[in-house]
Structure 1
């Protein structure tokens, strides 16, 4: 059997189509109400997907009745859960030590720094004093964020020690970090390694402030670099060095983020042991010739994959870019049309969808109302198409104000570069 942990954000992925050889041998654990795709022998739900104990208890019960040979977990939130299950069931894949290193931003920087890779100055945080002491030793802006966060949730940029006091309650749990703010363009590398051999690695650059653009209600985009660009190879090389520095398994998919400074330094932001989220898989499908989630599900299940075809496609594919439109405070009153020539246009909202209040304040960087991909062999033309379609789709949305938007906390602010 194949046990799949399906986050609500991953609900509906066609695992049965991707793994036809496993027909009748797929079981899933997911959140109540999540529209899970067809083809599962059984689907067990839990009321709250953020409840680790409940998810693991449900998965253990499913595993008792249907002993699995593989545990699949596409979402960031499930990386450590799946690793715990693999350990208990003596199954292959990312183990608990590796999962911790890829989830804990302090651990990953310790591993990277020990291997000589450039990382920002950083420190674990359990109290406000930890932040102010760090700022005294490292003058300038700093970033405070959860050590295992995702989607840029709970991230704060501080420009003065006095503003740290507002975070006292948030950091009291002892699982935050503070790091120096790095001025630079945020890039990501999506890499795949099978049995110790690199399969493909795609380096791309985010637009604007990267994963913090949603702080300004601005679109987030990314376009892959030309493989002939020296920066592409430098980013790829740095990614493989980072993978080797961490306690990584021989077979791994990774989504790494780096800052590239004006003087050309490549500085680690963070890395995750999973495929990139949001529109990243749609963009990668045009570069790799296959949906990377399907590719990786088959690799992890030990099923046949045309690896040479993936390598060839990655070398010869057209340039590609994605864009995502974030929500605004208010209610959606009008929906856009897909611009001519775009690919994989997806609307994740409807007229009447209300993003006011707490929902807006808790939005993540991956909460896109519309996403799409553009391709073009000419880098300049690709850039123009990306910008033009962002303007068209953004202007196509209509918004009704439902309440005055909450002010951005004084401790937070937009940044050059980004963080997850």
Structure 2
């Protein structure tokens, strides 16, 4: 399975080098980044140390080239000089910045940083605050922490300091990671998105070095945000029987680094998400000065979600229909609503596949219909395609009945007991989102 990742990476590298040689740096950069993502995934599965080493070496070379291109694109220049040779990717033409394998840096450090570099989100995810339904107080708190200090530094004088660490907790599928994406889009900061697999290294002693490097990189490129998803997998209760030496060291390093972030105003915000807040180590929990409960969406939020997920897909639902759908889906999480709409989006396609009658619209498109429809022709989708009309077949708009059909077979995924646990935690340690 994992050989696909390598093939995918090589394919992207070929395209990247081609664009690079042609001087199309704006096109080459995302291709290099895609290649690096696939190489990184492949490295997680590769067992052969020789191949691993070779890929790591290539990874560092392509990363360096991508960084050079980015530096030039950021400056608004046309791009670094290319000598028309595919090997440009391995020949740095600009002096590496600090922390990117410069002469004074130890290669071990460079390797760790190269691994972490792919955690930096360079392209904005394009999720706006308005796309996040409800969660007003969570959005307000994050805006206070993320937007205000960068745009209005004069607000934070004397003892007034921006929030430095946020914990978003709540049942699965309520939009914790989605909220983090909105922060990445809206904030003018470097955004590091980290999963536990990025930080848990099987080499002894490397995990805590990765953590300290991560925070150092965040400080170097401040203002920045470190987002750690599923933080409970990194920071469970200390002293538990199944706790490994490595995870204990990661926790200690994280505690030290977060304490450092809180003490001096280094413009680094730590944002973490978890579905199981009780599983968190209490010392780690205390480091988060804001703990915000992200509950299931309320009626208004669900109504907004149905509209957002349908987007500009043709439909004939009225405002009253959306309201009624929201009422019918009490107990659904944001992700349940998203799955429901995804399923509904395919209903018109299923109707088109099963249709026995079609009618021709004035602009020459064929739409499925019932036998009684005026101008109905008895023909199937396959027969129309056989006549060379495949591109003229149009699925009908989505109707309220499509939703009723899908909702009849869908159930909410968050249980009552799940909710009780989160509500109890909120009473003890959190605040409402």
TM-score by length of structure 1 reads 0.23
TM-score by length of structure 2 reads 0.23
Task: Kindly indicate which of the two structures has a greater share of residues assigned to helix.
Answer: 2
